[in-house]
Amino acid sequence: MNEVVGQEGVTGVDKAKLWAAILIATAGVAAFYILKGDQPEWVRWTVFAGALLVGALVFAVSRYGRDFGKFVLDARIELYKVFWPTRQETGTMTVVVFVFVIIMALFFWGIDSLLAWATGSILGGQSSGG
């Protein structure tokens, strides 16, 4: 997955396949709404699903589709290399985060109280409320 995927080998035919796939999928979505009220639900859903399937197949046979498929396979390989923490490590880190959040909340509350007291003292005890 460290290799750079370029656009070498992409032809006009591949671009046409990509645009055809987009248009077919868009037509399926449009037909789903156009057929509303005129056709039973199962017909609308069949047209919608069929158009998406045909669009996906047209995309899959293009260079873009093959590159996307390679990317998905490479991503799965990389996913297996990920170090997943154990349940105990996850629990420990969660407790550490919560304790840190509480400490920081108390710190900022203290700073806010100190600044409110200092501001009140400087302004002669006037309250900022209505």
Q: What is the pLDDT of residues 43-73, one digit of tens each?
A: 999 999 999 999 999 999 999 999 999 999 9
- Contact in structure between 47 and 81 (CB atoms under 8 Å): no
CA dihedral 31, 33, 38, 40 (to 10 degrees): 90
- The structure's pTM equals 0.55
CA gap 14, 19 in Å, rounded = 9
Q: Are 51 and 97 in contact (CB under 8 A)?
A: no
